[in-house]
């Protein structure tokens, strides 16, 4: 969990002062490199951070009813990964709730 937090923190530093379009172009690999490189088993940390950023950017443009030409119509691999993780966590939470483990 600490590595995911570190990845998100470094990502915020990487996007400061950038245009939204330039922030969109940041890849999970660039974030991984900025962290000093990650072993393959930890790639998901940078993928999730970048995916969350891209989901936020897409959400903003959906909310304001605009779609810049640089924003792809289809979800990126990082965005799909974040959605899969969110769905997995929701399923886990529902099962824990059904078992009475959480309220």
Q: SS3 sequence, 20-73?
A: HHHHHCCCHHHHHHHCCCCCHHHHHHHHHHHHHHHHHHHHHHHHHCCCCCCCCC
Q: Which of the four pLDDT bands, split at 50, 70 and 90, describes residue 92? A: very high
103, part of any domain: no
Domain count, the chain: 1
Is 15 within a domain?
A: yes
Tens-place pLDDT, residues 16-37: 999 999 999 999 999 999 999 9
Residue 84 lies in a domain: yes
Average of per-residue pLDDT across 38-56 = 92
Residue 63 domain boundaries: 2-98
Whole-number average pLDDT of the chain? 93
Measured in whole angstroms, the distance separating CA 28 from the mean position of its chain's CA atoms is: 9
Q: Is residue 74 part of a domain?
A: yes
Q: What percent of the chain shows pLDDT beyond 70?
A: 99
Q: How confident is the model at residue 100 (pLDDT cuts 50, 70, 90)?
A: confident
In this prediction, residue 1 carries a pLDDT of 67
Q: What pLDDT does 54 receive?
A: 96
Q: How far apart are CA 84 and CA 68, in angstroms?
A: 25
With contact defined as beta carbons under 8 Å apart, do 18 and 57 qualify?
A: no
Q: How many residues does this entry show for the chain?
A: 103
Write the pLDDT tens digit of every residue in 54-75.
999 999 999 999 999 999 999 9
pTM here?
Answer: 0.84
The enclosing domain of 28 has a CATH number of 3.90.1010.10
Residue of 91, 94, 7, 15 lying closest to 44 (CA atoms): 7
């Amino acid at each position: 969990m600490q590595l995911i937090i570190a990845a998100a923190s470094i990502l915020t530093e990487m996007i400061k002062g950038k245009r939204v379009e330039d922030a969109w172009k940041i890849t999970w690999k660039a974030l991984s490199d900025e962290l000093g490189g990650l072993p393959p088993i930890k790639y998901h940390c940078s993928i999730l951070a970048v995916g969350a950023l891209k989901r936020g950017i897409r959400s903003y443009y959906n909310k304001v009813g605009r779609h810049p030409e640089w924003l792809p119509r289809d979800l990126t691999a990082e965005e799909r990964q974040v959605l899969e993780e969110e769905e997995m966590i929701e399923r886990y939470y529902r099962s824990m709730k059904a078992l009475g483990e959480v309220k």
